[in-house]
Amino acid sequence: MQIEDIILTYEKDLKLVEEFLDKEQNSYVKLIPQISSHIIASGGKRLRPLLLLISSDLFKYCEERRHVLAAVIEFIHTASLLHDDVIDHANIRRGRAAANKLWGNTASILVGDYLYATAFRLLTEDGDPVVQRIISSATTTMVEGETIQFIKSGDAEITEQEYLSIIEKKTAILMSASCALGAALAGQPQESIRTLSSIGLKIGVSFQVTDDTLDYVGVKEEFGKNIGMDLREGKMTLPLIWALKKGSLAEKEAVIKIIKHKSAEDEDILTIIDFIKNYGGIEYALGKAAQYIGEAKALIKSFPDSSARKYLLSIADYVLNRNN
Give a three-class secondary structure readout of the chain: CCHHHHHHHCHHHHHHHHHHHHHHCCCCCCHHHHHHHHHHCCCCCCHHHHHHHHHHHHCCCCCCHHHHHHHHHHHHHHHHHHHHHHHHCCCEECCEECHHHHHCHHHHHHHHHHHHHHHHHHHHHHCCHHHHHHHHHHHHHHHHHHHHHHHHCCCCCCCHHHHHHHHHHHHHHHHHHHHHHHHHHCCCCHHHHHHHHHHHHHHHHHHHHHHHHHHHHCCHHHHCCCCCHHHHCCCCCHHHHHHHHHCCHHHHHHHHHHHHHCCCCHHHHHHHHHHHHHCCHHHHHHHHHHHHHHHHHHHHCCCCCCHHHHHHHHHHHHHHHCCC
- Which residue type occupies 185? L
In this prediction the pTM is: 0.92
- The rounded distance, in Å, linking the Cα atoms of 184 and 83 is 29
pLDDT score, position 52: 98
- The rounded distance, in Å, linking the Cα atoms of 148 and 316 is 27
pLDDT score, position 167: 97
CB 191: neighbour CB atoms within 10 A? 9
pLDDT score, position 45: 77
pLDDT score, position 219: 45
Burial level of 233, CB count in 10 A (0-12/13-18/19+)?
Answer: middle
- The rounded distance, in Å, linking the Cα atoms of 99 and 92 is 9
Is residue 163 within 8 Å of residue 34, measured between CB atoms? no
Q: Which domains does the chain have, with CATH numbers?
A: 3-321 (1.10.600.10)
187 Rama sector, left if φ>0, alpha if ψ -120 to 50, beta otherwise:
left
Question: 96: which strand partners?
Answer: 93
Say how many residues make up the chain: 324
Q: Residues 248, 254, 256, 260: what is their CA dihedral angle, to the nearest 10 degrees? A: 180
Q: pLDDT tens string for the chain (324 positions)?
A: 889 999 999 999 999 999 999 999 888 999 999 999 898 877 677 999 999 999 999 999 999 999 999 999 999 999 999 999 999 888 888 778 899 999 999 999 999 999 999 999 999 999 999 999 999 999 999 999 999 999 988 788 899 999 999 999 999 999 999 999 999 999 999 999 999 999 999 999 999 999 999 888 754 444 445 567 777 777 889 999 999 999 889 988 888 888 777 666 778 888 888 999 999 999 999 999 999 999 999 999 999 999 999 999 999 999 998 865
- Which of these, 9, 307, 58, 13, lies nearest to 182 by C-alpha position? 58
CB 120: neighbour CB atoms within 10 A? 17
